[in-house]
Amino acid sequence: MFRMRQSPQLRGGVGPGADEWACGQALRNRPDGRCVAILALPCTACGPAAREWNLLSFALLHPWRHAALIRILTRRDISGRYRGSLLGALWALLTPLLMLAVFTFVFGVVAPTRWPGAESQGMGMFALRLLAGMVVHGLLAELLQRAPSLITGQPNYVTKVVFPLEALAWVALLTALFHAAVALLLLVVLNAVLGTGLSPSVLALPLVLLPYALLLLGLCWLLAALGVYLRDLAQLVGPLVMVCMFLGPVFYPRQAMPALAQPWLALNPITIPVEQIRRVLFDSQWPDWWVLAQYSLVSVAVYLFGLWAFARFKQGFADVL
């Protein structure tokens, strides 16, 4: 299917055009320590469909081929965010607490929301349900707001060195997941002490978050690729993230919406994860497996499409940057 040759632009080292490839690109280390790009070119028997499949299948392998690099960059990204601050990584715990206090006061005291059973359950349970929605939305906000500038903010990775650009989205996702995991751990502890307690259904939390993470990763690749060509996208993502928060079940349940609007709320990417996390934590029930399966199918489709789009658009990044 492939014949291998060394890229003319990269003989003896690295340089512009390092990320350009036909069906795939592999890197190997020479004995002298330099990297040489090996381009996998389709043979004449490959049709368009075969080339597209080779392109996607090669891109799907990058998390395993670059696991060490992703791990190092993620650790550097997390530590760099809090470097020089007095409280350090403790801010990952304090930030959701501060936001919880503000939103609880606003939507629980100043402008109470229509939450069924809020009077009987008390302000504490309302705060915990609110925190669950904020954690899910915070993961989306942190990742997608970084996505449009993910490539444009690192032009040297495109034009100067051979670098697996797909790994940048994984780094952004893992960094966001770190902060979400800290907030979720806080939520589980608070619920165990002040809320409904612990139940075996808490073990299903990773199963709820996994398809959500795949969907966000696909969206991140798509926005990162489009952000290279459409610089206005960075200004558009912020309002869209805000829309996802106020038109999602963060401050109110889906049942509080008009009956005609409730089915449309499912189009919001945070709706299913928020509802299933609340079901697992506060109702002591296992997730709705049928709903979660449908959401997972959509997530995988978005993941694959985002990865395919990134691989296609990637070939023109060097020319634009």
How does pLDDT run across 229-264, given as a tens digit for each residue? 998 898 999 999 999 988 888 888 888 788 888 888
Taking residues 17-30, report their average pLDDT: 38
* Same domain as 163, residue 300: yes
Domain range for 291 is 65-320
Q: Is there a single domain that holds both residue 86 and residue 38? A: no
**Cα 134-137-143 angle, rounded to 5 deg:** 130
29 φ, ψ to 5°? -90, 130
**55 and 81 assigned to the same domain:** no
- pTM here is 0.78
Whether residue 25 sits in one domain with residue 152:
no
Q: Within this chain, do residues 137 and 244 fall inside the same structural domain, yes or no?
A: yes
- Do 106 and 32 belong to one domain? no
pLDDT in tens, 141-166: 999 999 999 998 888 888 777 788 88
Residues 6+ apart with CB under 8 A from 256: 113, 114, 115, 116
In order, the DSSP letters of 155-216 are THHHHTS---THHHHHHHHHHHHHHHHHHHHHHHHHHHHHSS---GGGGGHHHHHHHHHHHH
The reply to whether 238 and 103 lie within a common domain is: yes
14 plus 86 within the same structural domain: no
Domains contained in the chain, number: 2
Q: Does residue 142 share a domain with residue 36?
A: no
Is-contact 108 123, C-beta < 8 A?
yes
Where among 36, 60, 84 does a domain terminate? 60
Burial class, 28, CB count within 10 angstroms (exposed 0-12 / middle 13-18 / buried 19+): exposed
118 shares a domain with 34: no
The residue-averaged pLDDT of 15-22 equals 37
